Amino acid sequence: MALNIGFIGLGVMGAPMAGHLVDAGHEVVVFNRSRAKVDALEARGAVGGTSPAQVGEKADVVITMLPDSPDVEEVLFGAAGVVSALRPGSLVIDCSTISPDAAVAIAARLAESDIAFVDAPVSGGDVGAKAGTLAVMMGGDEDAVQRATAVLTAVAATLVHVGPVGAGQLVKAANQMLVAGNIALVGEALTVLQRTGVDVDAALTVLGGGLAASKVLEVKAPKMLSRDFAPGFRLDLHHKDLKIALAAAERAQIAVPLTGVITQLVQALRAAGDGGLDHSALIKALERLSGAPSYRKEE
């Protein structure tokens, strides 16, 4: 069944997600701070909105895909925000990665206007967003999650209800810990292989066929070796996500030493001006520690 869907935030992840919703036959109105992304989706059949409020006026379901908690709060509750025009009984699905506490607070504010909320952060990166194969971890009540699932099937291959509001963000924090740790270890392994003169292509083939195989090894190792750090997911954003994970661990009085070390490595890159690079650039921090560049030199 075609739905009236609003989509706010047309970045690396949001633009392809909105495109899949258009392709699925939904009526989609989109808003983004930069007009070029809106124009591209209008060419595919979406309707361009001039403000978050206009998106809310035209939609029964609004999806946000934004960098951080303040961005989501501003779009929903700020001047000309979504809530000023969204009808009671509507649904907001936040696919951003924000703090669990912020998700709970947003849900409470929306409930005052009889608007349902699901925190639905995603995993799969820009590759998964383009392919429509994202994994979505959803927090909310059963009815709201069922409504969200009907919408998000257009962008995802895996959709799981993980608990009440805020639970989706906690699972996403765990996801980001695992991804960062995997990237760091892939970077260390490549540095060792390169430094010791091993045939890296042969090594990656056999590693990919055993227990060391992972999506990170498959997707990020080639980027590290070719020095292709064009951002799919920026180090700045991964640092923000790791800080969310550290805060959650602190509240639960849990020690997460590996996450702490990796967060510091990411921060070192940000301090050096590399925060806008893809998170596969984490290998650069490891190289600086060892003096062993892990890239393919031109023949």
Write the pLDDT tens digit of every residue in 77-86.
Answer: 999 999 999 9
What pLDDT sits at residue 214? 97
Q: Active-site residue among 37, 172, 220, 240?
A: 172
Write the pLDDT tens digit of every residue in 28-51.
Answer: 999 999 999 999 999 999 999 999
Q: Is 297 a catalytic residue?
A: no
Q: DSSP H helical segments within the chain, as ranges?
A: 14-23, 35-42, 52-58, 69-77, 100-111, 125-131, 142-152, 167-195, 200-207, 215-226, 235-251, 257-271, 282-290
What pLDDT sits at residue 297? 46
Question: pTM, whole model, 2 decimals?
Answer: 0.93
What pLDDT sits at residue 185? 98
Which residues, given as ranges, of the chain have pLDDT below 70? 292-299
Pick among 1.10.1040.10, 2.60.40.1170, 3.40.50.720, 1.10.1380.10: CATH of 170-290: 1.10.1040.10
What pLDDT sits at residue 16? 98
Q: Where are the domains of the chain?
A: 4-164, 170-290
What is the separation, in whole angstroms, between the first and last Cα of the chain?
A: 56
| CATH number for the segment(s) 4-164 | 3.40.50.720
